[in-house]
């Protein structure tokens, strides 16, 4: 099977498992796990923040980040396809009384906002009449947008608008690594524009589990309390942090291979069906495909019969995601098969 459903399907490599097996550990609820402490400090430093918090999932890291910025009963704004509004099971409303309004990104690149998308929605100084905007959220790269990248210039403009309005900013950087590798913009340059940032080690970075939230020391101290409240206080989880530390040292630059492989896959598909993929907006490791009249579910089943697993992002839209478990030849082969199915 060539599994391109997601970059979450990666398994730890032999070397990563070795790093996990020999990791120094302690009780992290007591703050005594050296591997977790190192991972939190290194991730914070990398993103230009004071402190970090290791979380069992990206969803939890997003929750804790958003909750540290948005009081109960206030709102956060985000793109209509953002992970925080679509894929976190309503956690922000269900568990912390936060409302969300969404914009439709109009830059022409799927999922990528123009500053006016945000300024059109901001609600400030409206008194006891409308819900006041406390924060906005940006996803970079944008998952359901197809791994697309927010230009750093746009992010700087948004930062300035939010600074003037007293509006906080959260970055869902589950795949910020991919944006960094594709553009050469340092992680810190992205990270330091935001008040809170979450990054995933369990996607393209190839670790089995784990995300880190970074922010000011004070916000992270509060988030640590919330994490325990959610049941996310882990003990000798340094075994997991060791995998993330290994990824920091060995798996960032290699994301360029995933991006090149996504292009190989996409070229094979478009050789068969030129209109299936918007190649202009293929930026990282996520390839979104238009299935035309075909139902995505039917194409997925037919591809699985031929040894290729892909996933669905709409009734007639498919997605393939490259990652460290798949090489260039497999991507060409998978692209050829999916292209045949879309052409038939």
Ligand X SMILES: *Cc1c(COP(=O)(O)O)cnc(C)c1O
Largest CA distance in the chain: 60
Smallest gap from Cβ 213 to ligand X, in A, equals: 11
Q: Which is nearer to ligand X, 79 or 132 (CB)?
A: 79
Smallest gap from Cβ 241 to ligand X, in A, equals: 15
Minimal CB distance residue for ligand X: 58
Q: Which is nearer to ligand X, 232 or 335 (CB)?
A: 232
Give the whole-angstrom CA distance, residue 58 versus residue 48: 19
Smallest gap from Cβ 132 to ligand X, in A, equals: 25
Smallest gap from Cβ 84 to ligand X, in A, equals: 7
Smallest gap from Cβ 141 to ligand X, in A, equals: 8
Q: Which residue has the tokens 């206080």?
A: 233
Q: Which residues contact 203 (CB under 8 A, 6 or more apart)?
A: 6, 7, 8, 58, 174, 175, 323
Q: Which is nearer to ligand X, 299 or 321 (CB)?
A: 321
Number of H helices, E strands in the chain: 14, 12
Q: Which is nearer to ligand X, 43 or 202 (CB)?
A: 202
Give the whole-angstrom CA distance, residue 223 versus residue 51: 11
Smallest gap from Cβ 15 to ligand X, in A, equals: 23
DSSP type of residue 114: P
**255-272 helix and 176-183 helix, angle to the nearest 10 degrees:** 80
Smallest gap from Cβ 253 to ligand X, in A, equals: 21
Q: Which is nearer to ligand X, 56 or 339 (CB)?
A: 56
Give the whole-angstrom CA distance, residue 272 versus residue 159: 43
Q: Which is nearer to ligand X, 52 or 58 (CB)?
A: 58
CA 90 centroid distance within chain: 17
The DSSP string of 20-88 is: HHT-----GGGT--HHHHHHHHHHHHHTT-SEEEEESSHHHHHHHHHHHHS-TT-EEEEETT-HHHHSS
Smallest gap from Cβ 7 to ligand X, in A, equals: 9
What residue ranges bind ligand X (CB under 6 A)?
Answer: 57-59, 62, 83, 139, 143, 172, 174, 200, 202-203, 211
Give the whole-angstrom CA distance, residue 29 versus residue 241: 14
Q: Which is nearer to ligand X, 196 or 202 (CB)?
A: 202
Task: Kindly report the three-state secondary structure assignment for every residue of 269-289.
Answer: HHHHCHHHCCHHHCCCCEEEE
Q: What's the half-sphere exposure (Cβ side, CA atoms, 13 Å) at 151?
A: 10
Q: Which is nearer to ligand X, 144 or 265 (CB)?
A: 144
């Amino acid at each position: 099977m060539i599994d391109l459903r997601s970059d979450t399907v990666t398994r730890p490599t032999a070397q990563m498992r070795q790093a996990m097996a020999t990791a120094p550990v302690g009780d992290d609820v007591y703050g005594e796990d050296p591997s977790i402490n190192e991972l939190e400090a290194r991730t914070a430093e990398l993103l230009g923040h004071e402190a970090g918090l290791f979380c069992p999932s990206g969803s939890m890291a997003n929750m804790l980040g958003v909750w540290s910025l948005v009081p109960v009963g206030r709102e956060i704004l985000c793109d209509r396809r953002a992970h925080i509004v679509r894929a976190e099971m309503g956690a922000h409303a269900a568990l912390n009384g936060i409302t969300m309004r969404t914009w439709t990104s109009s830059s022409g690149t799927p999922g990528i906002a123009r500053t006016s998308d945000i300024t059109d929605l901001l609600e400030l100084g409206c008194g006891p009449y409308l819900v006041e905007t406390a924060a906005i959220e940006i996803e970079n790269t944008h998952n359901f947008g197809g791994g697309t990248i927010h230009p750093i210039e746009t992010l700087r403009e948004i930062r300035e608008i939010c600074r003037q309005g007293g509006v906080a900013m959260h970055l869902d950087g589950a795949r910020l690594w991919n944006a960094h590798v594709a553009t050469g913009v340092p992680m810190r340059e992205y990270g330091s524009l935001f008040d809170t940032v979450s990054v995933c080690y369990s996607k393209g970075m190839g670790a089995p589990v784990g995300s880190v939230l970074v922010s000011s020391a004070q916000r992270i101290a509060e988030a640590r309390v919330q994490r325990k409240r959610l049941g996310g206080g882990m003990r000798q989880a340094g075994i997991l942090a060791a995998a993330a530390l290994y990824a920091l040292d060995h798996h960032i630059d290699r994301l360029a291979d995933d991006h090149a492989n996504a292009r190989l896959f996409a070229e094979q598909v478009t050789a068969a069906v030129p209109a299936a993929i918007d190649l202009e907006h293929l930026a990282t490791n996520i390839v979104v495909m238009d299935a035309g009249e075909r139902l995505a579910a039917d194409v997925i089943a037919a591809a699985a019969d031929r040894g290729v697993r892909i996933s669905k992002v709409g009734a007639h839209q498919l997605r393939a995601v490259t990652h460290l478990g798949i090489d260039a030849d497999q991507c060409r082969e998978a692209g050829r098969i999916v292209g045949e199915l879309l052409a038939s």
